[in-house]
Structure 1
């Protein structure tokens, strides 16, 4: 029987018992976020940031909103009255909605907004670790998104660099 391909390590977290607020440094070239508490590195995680045409912003930001179960009001899918997906890659206000159908925003668990124009950190797919994949948000593995959500207070610093 062939050996199963090993999954890459997606994150490391050693910050649960460390004092101080959490801050996040995101390196777009590596598609990784580095986590700090009290100035000490307490972990890292792969991220999936904005793909071509949907660049993630760079600079220093602060978490301005936190919502456990958020849905996108821009990206998602169109479903019919039975809940069957008609269009799995819809954009609100752009994609046509057939009669009897409606738009359902993509799930963005553990949403942490960092801009006034809809960019944030949240749980989401990282299909190819080390490669961009999003519409501009910073996607995180589910467990790490929950961890950051729990440890990063409102106002926590998020720095995104090339």
Structure 2
């Protein structure tokens, strides 16, 4: 009882005299600040992540239009994700479940591309076949679509292409992937692979 009275008297005396208690008598609190989760910055975040094992097994792909991302699964395990660029305003990417029906390593669009003159100079860089005129001696040159994987019979598929603003649509309806990711998916996803596109 005397020890309690002595501690109380010592504490009261210190408070009144503004003295400091020894650190051993003070319980220190550790204040933990919450982690701040910031939105992805396209200049700092990766365009894709791949951690496939290379083992065989069924593959499926989910394209999320709201996130502008693709998620790749093999043997029911997620083996990677990637930013994509899907159809911009006026060029809607369809939703639903599709299968890969055609694979071509070096494909060119027969609808979108550029028009060049007889000397090979580009006279129109954003041309649509049959809509924009071709000068005498010139030709329509379809846009490159490496690692083409067809999903519809009206020309929508997955392929390598630019992702100018990660998280934002940019294509004529196809699903563009970073070049390396398109190549990886092309290698592991045979014809018949299921691709689900969600809003």
Q: TM-score, normalised by structure 2?
A: 0.77
SS of residue paired to 2:187: helix
Tell me the distance in 1 between the aligned counterparts of 2:44 and 2:102.
33
- The 8 Å contact of residues 71 and 106 in structure 1, kept in 2 or not, is answered as yes
Q: How many residues align?
A: 158
SS of residue paired to 2:106: strand
Asked if 1:31 is matched to 2:72, the reply is no
Q: RMSD over aligned Cα, in angstroms?
A: 1.2
Tell me the distance in 2 between the aligned counterparts of 1:126 and 1:142.
10
After the TM superposition, which parts of structure 1 deviate over 4 Å for at least 4 consecutive aligned residues?
Answer: none
SS of residue paired to 1:42: strand
Say which of 75, 84, 88 aligns to 1:47: 84
Tell me the residue number matched to 1:94: 131
Deviation at 1:97, TM superposition (A): 1.0
Tell me the distance in 2 between the aligned counterparts of 1:84 and 1:65.
32
Q: Which runs of 5+ in 2 are unaligned?
A: 1-41
Tell me the distance in 2 between the aligned counterparts of 1:52 and 1:153.
31
- The 8 Å contact of residues 72 and 105 in structure 1, kept in 2 or not, is answered as yes
- The 8 Å contact of residues 118 and 136 in structure 2, kept in 1 or not, is answered as no
Asked if 1:57 is matched to 2:105, the reply is no
Deviation at 1:150, TM superposition (A): 0.3
Asked if 1:148 is matched to 2:148, the reply is no
Tell me the distance in 2 between the aligned counterparts of 1:17 and 1:75.
35
Q: Which runs of 5+ in 1 are unaligned?
A: none
Tell me the distance in 2 between the aligned counterparts of 1:22 and 1:94.
38
Greater Rg over alpha carbons, structure: 2
Deviation at 1:8, TM superposition (A): 2.7
SS of residue paired to 1:95: coil
Q: TM-score, normalised by structure 1?
A: 0.94
